[in-house]
Amino acid sequence: MKRKGILFVISGPSGVGKGTIREALLEKISDIEVSISATTRPPRPGEVHGKDYFFLSGEEFKKMIAEDKFLEWANVYQNFYGTPRDFVIKNLEQGKDVLLEIDIQGAMQVKNKMPEGVFIFIYPPDIQTLAERLCNRGKDSKESIERRLAACAEELRHVKYYDYVVVNDELEWAVKKTEAIIIAERCKIKNIELEVV
């Protein structure tokens, strides 16, 4: 029995716990490739090209944009970030599943190019909890948190474009639900090439 590779896209508003859920999933599911993003920002200490990111020059990145070599890309604070198409396609063609954790804007770009992917929206229990998570993680300024929360209402409306929604009210349960989605999708007939006896 052979199986086609499946692209799983985990997305949701900033601070909802996408990265935490992804990390917990990777401890449970070892046979999935994590999509590696390309960026023009310089490597931070300890980061490795081809493992943490594909580090590219501005010229290299713009050439890839012109050649439509990204499933999605964005300019974030004067640095470009994108998901290289070749990395994803190569793994899927080899029958490997690919996990992509990304913001909502990027997920919508990916959906336009690969609508056959499985799109999972991580939803906050409520806005107050999301605000607390953003404050507690200590990564953002007060202005940044306010800007992210203001964008959140609009972002939550995008849930209708996804295949699944997982409310992250209790982390362990949210991880179990996301894992169950991956297992179920792997069992779908359309994703399996069965030998007829």
Q: Give the residue carrying structure tokens 């996804």.
A: 162
Q: Give the residue carrying structure tokens 């896209």.
A: 9
Please enumerate, by residue number, every residue annotated as part of a binding site: 12-19
Which residue from 10, 2, 16 is spatially nearest to 148, judged by alpha carbons?
Answer: 16
HEC letters along 29-97: CCCEEECCCEECCCCCCCCCECCCEEECCHHHHHHHHHCCCEEEEEEECCEEEEEEHHHHHHHHHCCCE
Please enumerate, by residue number, every residue annotated as part of a binding site for ATP: 12-19
| Pairing status of strand 79-84 against strand 38-39 | antiparallel
